[in-house]
Structure 1
């Protein structure tokens, strides 16, 4: 079975990370996978059985998603769109897929409908026709215009055969952030969260891990964490600050006292979270899923720039379920963060094991069934 998987990151690489986990699970389930990456080149190797075909890069100009730009920050040119379209067309001809998988679209990535709708029309004209599915996270960003919700549902009904939501409906059902869910006529299935199995325990937990995305918001969280350490109940234990890829690390290292390690990037971040007593982060999908898998108490300071409320919605629900302590970024000073770390240490551990975290293999099994049977049922 042959799978083409379109993925487009706009800020950071979280969408690509989740997609690679899904692609690897699909390869293990018997698919030959080609991942079409429209964002920055992958910092991770392709899993066995997965090939990455790089498109000319497009990304968001800023955290407000004000425009699309290339890797040099120049406005997206027509020539770049044409080059991307040519690569997508070639991939269809080369692979002749049994299945096309779209990351987010049409529940996001609206600016890319100009390349995807013609491409999907060509895919649907192939003989035999490939099945088409959507891979989407469990929370969508709020839209003020109700017509946008209806547009998403109508486009999904017209273009795809199934919608796979990577979350646990007992925690965060898709309809909680997608009010037009009842308008969908194609099957919608929750898969569980997509996350690697947790690393084995290496002994007693110690210290705090603070991780943040790039940009000014992540920098503020890391600076606040450094100031919060001497005020926290874990001030005598080791702290690790993972600064991301935007150059915050050098400034933090100059200020970091003994007992604080500052890393620019940590490929072993899940193992580090598993060994910590508390994780402090924004509320992005991947870090939350990894922390849930590790059973580590978490403090969440959700990203909320440019009207983005996805992380706030996720964090709020996790707090309601007793799975996290949440701080509003506008109120997250050193004293408040130190108190939140103490509160997180008192969270009940049993609750952290109740969330469905088998999203990658379950997604692969559902996609295999879609190809073999031609349809999926919501049952």
Structure 2
């Protein structure tokens, strides 16, 4: 039997779980073609199920706090200590694995704060070791957040792509969102770019009894979900919501404990509400649900599309975070879900939206959700045949 080539996938999730869950879905598909080493730079929730065929290397966890500052998530280590340990572990892992493929999630379009730990392995990957140079690819989602000094940011990303990378894999259906729509006009991608379709966990799942016939409220990992979950609970306490189905509310593994305690206190006033601290599979909960109330991160959006559950989304939005509102607006335009701007999300308005959600019938979005397996096949082919020239548009858009 031919030995599968080795692949190292680096993922740093800093605020929510979207980057982590998308990368884990990729590892499961990649494991069919590669010996996969998954390097994770953020906290790994207990509810996350890891593939036994994938070697997982956890770095000392680092992420963002509520103010957006980088912090160590391990009380035993200062931030400087954690970053130094991460650089050592990542480099030693890369050297031990000697991967034929290095797949980096988001960087250089984001994660600039982690450049110091990534550049040593990227420089090593570019240098021929034993006569063989690693293939280096960037893995990036459908829509990127806007930036201050957008053109300078994008040009730096292009320069780093030219220096270190062989290809960019965009996990989007190009009919829905294209990478250039997130970039400044005139800034080109200097390496071949390919659309894989959306990455979603396509393993068969049974509808969870806990969600059957109920509304399900969730906020991804929960780090920035308190406001949404609290307003849904407050809406359920209003008389307008009396006709709504019972509610299952999922806090999320990263929801801060004070926020969870506040939700518990509010829920005591509403006997039709069931609280879950976290669930291992949100899509299974949604599969039999009467409706969903959530934000609109990448993975939640894929769960909504895949299950076809009637959905109300109230996207997470700040001056720096506009990706969710853009995705939600496009899906609402397709008739796939209902959108409520977070600025309008008062308890009274949310209660009215919940009533309306009972009559909403989503249209099938007809988006390509086969991105995980297509990514794996693309990279396997690249290892054998090399990266195709960017002039082949069919390959770029994941048709072939």
TM-score, shorter chain, exceeding 0.5: yes
In the alignment, which residue of structure 2 is the partner of 1:207? Answer: 214
Partner SS state of residue 368, structure 2: coil
1:243-295 per-position Cα deviation (integer Å, ceiling 9, x unaligned): 12323444333433222111110113211111112111111111111111101
CA contact (8 A) 1:104 1:136 kept: yes
In the alignment, which residue of structure 2 is the partner of 1:293? Answer: 306
Deviation at 1:228, TM superposition (A): 1.9
Task: Select the residue among 22, 38, 51 that pairs with 1:18.
Answer: 22
In the alignment, which residue of structure 1 is the partner of 2:138? Answer: 134
Find the aligned partners of 1:267 and 1:215 in 2 and give their Cα distance: 14
Task: Select the residue among 241, 244, 263 that pairs with 1:252.
Answer: 263
Find the aligned partners of 1:195 and 1:209 in 2 and give their Cα distance: 20
In the alignment, which residue of structure 2 is the partner of 1:235? Answer: 243
Deviation at 1:360, TM superposition (A): 0.9
Task: Select the residue among 356, 370, 378 that pairs with 2:368.
Answer: 356
1:318-362 per-position Cα deviation (integer Å, ceiling 9, x unaligned): 11222221122221012211232344445444433x111111111
Query: 1:66 aligned to 2:54?
Result: no
CA contact (8 A) 1:60 1:68 kept: yes
Deviates more, 1:130-139 or 1:213-222: 213-222
Partner SS state of residue 23, structure 2: helix
In the alignment, which residue of structure 2 is the partner of 1:225? Answer: 232
Deviation at 1:169, TM superposition (A): 1.5
- Counterparts in 2 of 1:219 and 1:80: CA distance versus 1, 3 Å: closer
Deviation at 1:216, TM superposition (A): 7.7
CA contact (8 A) 1:106 1:156 kept: yes
Partner SS state of residue 184, structure 2: coil
In the alignment, which residue of structure 2 is the partner of 1:4? Answer: 8
In the alignment, which residue of structure 2 is the partner of 1:98? Answer: 100
Task: Select the residue among 252, 276, 301 that pairs with 2:289.
Answer: 276
So what's the TM-score if we normalise by structure 1?
A: 0.91
Query: 1:76 aligned to 2:94?
Result: no
Q: Structure 2 matches for 1:46-65, cutoff 5 A?
A: 46-62=50-66, 64-65=67-68
Find the aligned partners of 1:275 and 1:199 in 2 and give their Cα distance: 11
Deviates more, 1:269-278 or 1:172-181: 172-181
Deviation at 1:33, TM superposition (A): 0.3
1:104-136 per-position Cα deviation (integer Å, ceiling 9, x unaligned): 000110111122122211121123111001111
CA contact (8 A) 2:12 2:41 kept: yes
Deviation at 1:147, TM superposition (A): 1.0
CA contact (8 A) 1:149 1:180 kept: no
Task: Select the residue among 86, 93, 118 that pairs with 1:116.
Answer: 118
So what's the TM-score if we normalise by structure 2?
A: 0.86
Deviates more, 1:260-269 or 1:343-352: 343-352
CA contact (8 A) 2:222 2:251 kept: no
Structure 2: 5+ residue stretches without partners: 395-400
CA contact (8 A) 1:153 1:180 kept: no
The alignment's C-alpha RMSD in Å is 2.5
Partner SS state of residue 364, structure 2: helix
In the alignment, which residue of structure 2 is the partner of 1:166? Answer: 171
Q: Structure 2 matches for 1:137-148, cutoff 5 A?
A: 137-145=141-149, 146-148=151-153
Deviation at 1:5, TM superposition (A): 0.6
How many pairs does the alignment contain? 375
Task: Select the residue among 98, 106, 109 that pairs with 1:107.
Answer: 109
- Counterparts in 2 of 1:214 and 1:132: CA distance versus 1, 3 Å: closer
1:35-66 per-position Cα deviation (integer Å, ceiling 9, x unaligned): 1111113532321320111112221133x423
